[in-house]
Amino acid sequence: MKNTIVLCRRFFSVMCDDFVTKGTKCIGVAANYNELLKILNKPVPKVPDFFIKPISSYIKECQKIIIPKGFKVNEEIELGVVIGKKCTKVPEQNAMDYISGYCVALDMTATCRLTEARQTGGSWTLGKGFDTACPVSGFIPKSKIPDPHNVDLWCTVNGIQKQNGNTNDLVFNVPFLVSYISSYITLEPYDVIITGSPPGMGPVHKGDVIEGGIKDIVTIKFEVDSE
């Protein structure tokens, strides 16, 4: 029995490491930090506003972020939640049981396209889902982050600090997000929820170097290029 448990744990770890290649979707949560809403002078939403980034937007370190021709793009550092088993209509009190671990993600956002979409009521898909729009770290086991609501996130561009926030400021916490999203969209193993970005996000350009991560746990680094 002990050997079986060890093998299962190893398999689970390997499975989760493959979230970039085996996930079916990445779901992003918009405006999910209280401090950001205050800065934007927006009311606290009653339910999460979320969108889907295609898995083709994932890149790992050593790959470059490519800004599409004519786009203006911002960086947004976020905590990603990696789903470990299929969940549909999961009660909030059980939601953490469906999480296998975490990652750090950059939600690269084409602000020019989002501004247009907001004005016309159009889709966010292009603004959030272009190729290379979701740089991610490797998989972080759940044991490394015992409390996802006390995570220090930081981001610099060319060594200058842009973002420095803590997930204790989330409007909607992780169990609520898993429960709410799974009420409408089934979450599959390897799927990722990126939970929103603290204030300070800003534009990046060709030649910039973005670094970010979770304090004392993981650091990511990506170079920016353009078409």
Q: By the 8 A CB rule, do 227 and 66 touch?
A: yes
**Matching residue, tokens 């060594």:** 159
Distance in angstroms (rounded) separating the CA atoms of residues 198 and 218: 17
Tens-place pLDDT, residues 157-212: 999 999 999 999 999 999 999 999 999 999 999 999 999 999 999 999 999 999 99
The two structure tokens encoding residue 185? 């969209």
For the chain, list the domains and their CATH numbers. Answer: 18-226 (3.90.850.10)
pLDDT of residue 18: 86
Cα angle: 140, vertex 10, 99; to 5 degrees? 45
Threshold 0.75, pTM exceeds: yes
pLDDT of residue 28: 98
Distance in angstroms (rounded) separating the CA atoms of residues 222 and 211: 7
Strand order in the sheet with 109-110: 109-110, 73-75, 202-204
Q: pLDDT-based confidence at 3, cuts 50/70/90?
A: very low
**Matching residue, tokens 């561009």:** 157
The DSSP letter of residue 200 is T
Tens-place pLDDT, residues 13-70: 445 668 999 999 999 999 999 999 999 999 999 999 999 999 999 999 999 999 999 9
pLDDT of residue 113: 75
Distance in angstroms (rounded) separating the CA atoms of residues 172 and 45: 9
